Amino acid sequence: MPESLSTDVLIVGGGVAGLWLNARLRREGFATVLVEKGTLGGGQSVKSQGIIHGGTKYALQGALTGASEAIADMPRRWREALSGNGELDLSGVRLLSDAHYLWSPGTLAGNLTSFFASKAVRSRVGQVKGSELPPALQHPKFKGKVYRLSELVLDVPSLITRLAELAGDSLLTGQRIEPLREGDELVGLRIDERDVRAQRIVFSAGGGTAELLATLGLQQPAMQRRPLHMVMVKAPTLKPLYAHCLGGGTKPRITVTSHPTADGEWVWYLGGDLAEADGVARDEASQIATAKKELAGLVPWIDLSAAHWATLRIDRAEPAQSSLARPDNAFLAAPLSTSSRLLVGWPTKLALSPDFADRVLAALERDGIRPQRQPPLPPLPRPAITGPFWEGLLP
């Protein structure tokens, strides 16, 4: 006989979206179980750049879009959580940088003119010079302009560790997931040898969500993958840098974040346009060669002769959009019917995890779902927590 458990909300997927939601629900008094098949945070979350966007980079496309509006409040909410005074207590999570920077290496007046045309952007951005420049750019040979954005960069492994602490006894490692039905109604999931019944089931399994939906015979909501080919470089000469480096287009030419290694050095993690379509088409060697050329042009004073290089292919998983456009908000749907127990979604950005949780809480409120008196959970086998993935890829 399978072991039988009961909870208010059963969450599938322990990336930042599922973990944040789990912590919020528990804080609101809901009983939860979160099931993860791999390591907590080991999907897209730990491989993200950890930037808590406020949407400023989207203003490069001209006027502020829906994206910028929805995301604008995220830095404040994360800051409050990091200080221990927000919707979650994330005190102790390592803040890598209190600001992200916009770096214009040459004369890109056209680009910046449209950017600064927005009043909302002007109020959030200030130019920095001299000793205020990010350490990696403080060099006599540096030319260009740098603007400080009111956005944060987090150490994602420490964020995942903290969110796992806030999960208490709710975490469950599980591989095989099947629907648990009573009549036609989905009432829970069979997870390996356990039946877990719940008032609501939330799929927040990132790239695994399409497959989970298929186990229920569902194809909606449709998911899209956006492949990226990221580059990592590690060298004793690297100082931290967190910046979108502008090219001529509306997307950053390179987005650089810096991540600490166990031996006290820094890894620069390079995304932006470099990692998108053309970068995806390149093999590892030519992607590294392209990145080397970019850095040689942009920061020629940094000696990278002893650097170690690697690349990482990773897909972003998001709700399907026309022509693979970037989704604007966290996304949540009730694919069976609005009164069914199943909710499915993607935060679409790590930064939007609070928005994802808001949407789930709003759906619970709409459906009159309240915390019920649930029996205490037996000890459950816990999933491991991911570590810094770059340690395994670079010497």
Instruction: Return the range that interacts with ligand FAD (CB under 6 A); candidates 29-37, 114-122, 179-187, 301-309.
Output: 29-37
- Considering the complex, what minimum distance in angstroms separates the CB of residue 193 from ligand FAD? 15
Of residues 247-306, which lie at the interface with ligand FAD (CB under 6 A)? Answer: 271
Measured CA to CA, the distance from residue 390 to residue 369 in angstroms comes to 41
> What is the helix, strand, coil percentage profile of the chain, to 5?
30, 30, 40
- 45 makes contact with ligand FAD (CB under 6 A): yes
The residue assigned the tokens 């690349």 is: 311
* Cα dihedral 330, 320, 151, 350 sign: positive
Work out which of 9, 10, 11, 12 binds ligand FAD, going by CB under 6 A.
12
Measured CA to CA, the distance from residue 96 to residue 113 in angstroms comes to 30
- 35 makes contact with ligand FAD (CB under 6 A): yes
Query: 67 and 56 in contact (C-beta within 8 Å)?
Result: no
- Considering the complex, what minimum distance in angstroms separates the CB of residue 385 from ligand FAD? 11
Q: How many residues bind ligand FAD (CB under 6 A)?
A: 39
- 177 makes contact with ligand FAD (CB under 6 A): yes
Of residues 341-360, which lie at the interface with ligand FAD (CB under 6 A)? Answer: 346-351
Work out which of 33, 42, 59, 267 binds ligand FAD, going by CB under 6 A.
42
E-strand stretches of 88-219: 95-97, 100-104, 125-128, 145-149, 152-154, 171-173, 177-182, 185-191, 194-203
Of residues 204-223, which lie at the interface with ligand FAD (CB under 6 A)? Answer: 204-208, 212
Measured CA to CA, the distance from residue 108 to residue 26 in angstroms comes to 48
| Angle in degrees, 0-180, between the axes of helices 16-27 and 156-166, rounded to the nearest 10 | 40
- Considering the complex, what minimum distance in angstroms separates the CB of residue 227 from ligand FAD? 9
Q: Which candidate, 188, 156, 152, 170, places its Cα nearest to that of 27?
A: 170
- Considering the complex, what minimum distance in angstroms separates the CB of residue 174 from ligand FAD? 6
Nearer to ligand FAD (CB atom), residue 49 or residue 150: 49
- 14 makes contact with ligand FAD (CB under 6 A): yes
What is the 3 state secondary structure string of 78-124? HHHHHCCCCCCCCCCCCEEECCEEEEECCCCHHHHHHHHCCHHHHCC
Q: Which candidate, 159, 232, 168, places its Cα nearest to that of 387?
A: 159
Look up residue 168 and give its DSSP letter.
T
In the stretch 124-143, what mask flags binding to ligand FAD with x, by CB under 6 A? --------------------
- Considering the complex, what minimum distance in angstroms separates the CB of residue 16 from ligand FAD? 5
Instruction: Return the range that interacts with ligand FAD (CB under 6 A); candidates 120-128, 179-187, 240-248, 340-348.
Output: 340-348
First CA to last CA distance, the chain:
48
- 37 makes contact with ligand FAD (CB under 6 A): yes
| Residue 281: partners with Cβ closer than 8 Å, 6 or more residues away | none
221 cis-preceded (ω within 30 degrees of 0):
yes
Of residues 66-125, which lie at the interface with ligand FAD (CB under 6 A)? Answer: none
Instruction: Return the range that interacts with ligand FAD (CB under 6 A); candidates 39-47, 164-172, 283-291, 334-342.
Output: 39-47
Nearer to ligand FAD (CB atom), residue 304 or residue 357: 357
- 13 makes contact with ligand FAD (CB under 6 A): yes
Nearer to ligand FAD (CB atom), residue 142 or residue 190: 190
Q: Which candidate, 214, 159, 196, 123, places its Cα nearest to that of 375?
A: 196
Nearer to ligand FAD (CB atom), residue 141 or residue 309: 309
- 170 makes contact with ligand FAD (CB under 6 A): no
Site for ligand FAD, rule CB under 6 A: 12-18, 35-38, 42-45, 47-51, 53, 177, 204-208, 212, 228, 230, 271, 314, 316, 346-351
